[in-house]
Chain A
Amino acid sequence: MIDIEVRSLSVGYDQRRTGGRISAIEDLSFSVQAGKFVCVVGTSGCGKTTLLNVIAGLQKPASGQVLLGGVPVAGPGKERAMVFQTAALLPWRNVLHNVAYGLELQGCPAKEARRAAREMIALVGLDGFEDSCPHELSGGMQQRVNLARALVTRPGLLLMDEPFGSLDAQMREFMQTEIERIWRQTGQTTLFVTHSIDEAVFLADEIIVMTSRPGRVKAIVPVDLPRPRPHCIKQTPVFHAIGDELRDLLEAEFDPLATSRLRLEAV
C-alpha cells in the first residue's frame, strides 16, 4: 500500500495558436492515506485527468511534486497501474494476452504473466472469454479487461480515469459494485476520477472536489458509510446528504461554456 502526497502541484499546457500557456492545475495539494479509496470530482476540463497523468508519471508538472510512499515521482513505475477512460486494448490480442500485456511490459516472464492473468480474469468475472478478441466484447467487458490488466500487476496504487464513463446506466451500477468488491479483496490505494456524484459517494472513503480550471482543491468530503455497500444504500438520507453537499460545491464551479472555451484555446 502506498500513500500519496501532492505538494503545490502546477501543470500547464503549451498553446499552439498563441504560443502562450494554459494552466490546467495550479498550486494543488492534498494527501491520501495508504489503502484508501479516494474519488476526485470536478467539472469538465478542471484537470482531473492531468492530475492522474502526473501521478502516473506520464506527464511532467511545471512545479511542485508528487510523493508516493515518500518517494518523488520521476516517471512511470511498476508499483502504479492505470485504468483508462477508453479501454485501450490491443485489438489483435485476445483477452488473456491483453490482461497479461502490462505484466509482460514490466518484464515478467510470459508464462508467469499468463498464469497470473488467468487468475485475474476469474476475479473480474470473465472466465470463458480468455480467447475472445476485444471487438467481440461489450463495453463493460472491455472495461473489465482494462481493469484486470491493471490489477494483475498487483499495484500498490491504482489510478482510475473515469473508467465507467462510457457504460450504460445498468452496466455502470454493476461495475461499481464489482470494483468495490474487488477493492475490498485487494486493498490497494485507489484514486478514482469521475464526474458522477453518485458514483463518487457510493465508492469513496473520501472525495476530493476540484475547482474549475485551473484546478485546485475546493473541498475534501469524507464519506462515512459502512462497507460492503449494497446499491440500496443510495436511497439512505446520509447518502443523499453527502450528494447534496457535493452538488452545491460543484454548482458554484459550473460554467456551461468551459469545455468549448478550453477547446478553442487548445487549437
Chain B
Amino acid sequence: MLERLVRESPPFRKGLLSSLTLAAGLALWEWLPEAGWVDPFFTSSPSRIAHAAVSLSTRGLWRDAAVSLNEFGLGMLLAIVLGILAGMLLGWYRTLDAMFEPFVTLFNAMPRVALLPLIIMWLGIGIASKIAAVFLGAFFPIAITVMAGVRTVDPNLLRCARSFCATDRQIFRTLVLPTCVPYLFAGLHIAVGRGLVGVVIGEMLASQAGVGHLINQASTTFQTDKVFVGVILLTGFGYALTAILKQAGKSFDTWRVPK
C-alpha cells in the first residue's frame, strides 16, 4: 500500500518521506537517553552535540577544521594532478602499462593506511605526513578510473580522426580528454572518501591539530559529545564535496543520451 504510493508519487514526496525518517531517527536519539534507556555518556544526543559544537566553536574548532582542510586540499590537489597524468600515460602507452601495472595493482590492493606509521616515521607528525596520507588514499582511484577512461576511446572515432590527418595532440585534446571526463568524476567520488579517511587516520595517529586530532583527544578523555562534533563536521564536509562533484559532473554530461 505505502510502497505503491511512493512508487507512483512525484520525487518531492519521496524526499518528504526520507526527511521524515531522518527526523524520527534524530528524535529517537534525543529521547532514548532522556528516558533513561541508554547512557548519554556513551551515546550522547543531538542537543548535547549542539551544545558541544557551540562551545567548541569559540575554542579552536575552526582552527582544527582549517588545518584538516588545508592538509586534505593539498593532498587532493597532488592526487588529482598526478593521478590524471599517471592514468593518461598508463592508459595510452602499453609499454608504460606493462612496466608499472604490478605496482598499481599491488598498491591498490594494499590497505594503504597500514603504511601510515612508516610515513609518519619518514615525514614527521606535521602537515607533510597528512598530505601523503590523503595522497595515498586519493591517487589510485583517480589514476585507475582515468586509465580505464583512456582505454574506452571509441576506435571508430580514432579511425575517423586519423583519416582527417589528426596529430597525436589533436587526438588527445578532441577525443581522449572528453572521453575521460565522466571516468574522472567517478574516480573523484571515490577519492574524496579515501582522502578523508587518510587525513583523519593520519591525524589520529600523530598530530598536534586537526579534526582527527580533536576526535582522538576527545575520545581518550571520554568526551563523547565532542567526538560526535568532529564526526559530523567530517560527514558534512564529505557530503557537500560529493554533492558539488555530482553537480559539476552533470554540467559536463549534457550531451549524453538521457536514460
Contacts and interface: CB of A to CB of B under 8 A. Distances in A.
A105 B174 contact: yes
Interface in B211-250: none
Nearest to B171: A105
Contacts of A92: 178, 255
Contacts of B175: 90
Contacts of A88: 154, 156-157, 159-160
Contacts of B98: none
Given A90-B175, A135-B255, A135-B257, A105 B159 contact: no
Interface stretch (A61-69, A73-81, A206-214, A232-240): A73-81
Contacts of B257: 91, 135
A91 B163 contact: no
A82 B178 contact: no
A221 interface: no
Nearest to A146: B160
A193 interface: no
Given A84-B156, A101-B174, A77 B255 contact: no
A77 B163 CA distance: 7
B157 A76 contact: no
A86 interface: yes
Contact of A91 (B161, B162, B170, B256): B256
Contact of A90 (B157, B162, B165, B170): B157
In this complex, the member of A56, A80, A90 whose beta carbon has the largest number of chain B beta carbons within 10 angstroms is A90
Interface string A77-114: 11011101010101111000000011011100000000
B248 to A, nearest CB: 15
Contacts of A153: 164
Classify chain A: how many residues form its interface, as a range.
20 to 34
Contacts of A75: 165
B123 interface: no
A167 interface: no
B159 A90 contact: no
A84 B160 contact: yes
A81 B256 CA distance: 27
Contacts of B170: 105
A56 B163 contact: yes
B38 interface: no
A105 B156 contact: no
Nearest to A57: B163
Given A91-B256, A101-B174, A135-B257, A78 B165 contact: yes
Contacts of A84: 156, 159-160
B245 to A, nearest CB: 19
B255 A133 contact: yes
Contacts of A122: none
A76 B164 CA distance: 7
A179 interface: no
A81 B156 CA distance: 15
Contacts of A57: 163
- Cβ-closest 6 pairs across A and B: A105-B164, A102-B164, A88-B160, A135-B257, A92-B255, A88-B156
28 contacts: A58-B159, A58-B162, A76-B162, A76-B164, A76-B165, A78-B165, A81-B163, A82-B160, A84-B160, A86-B156, A88-B154, A88-B157, A88-B159, A88-B160, A90-B174, A91-B255, A91-B257, A92-B255, A93-B255, A101-B164, A101-B174, A102-B164, A105-B161, A105-B164, A105-B165, A105-B170, A106-B164, A153-B164
Given A81-B164, A90-B157, A93-B255, 8 more contacts: A80-B163, A84-B159, A88-B154, A88-B157, A90-B178, A91-B256, A105-B170, A106-B164
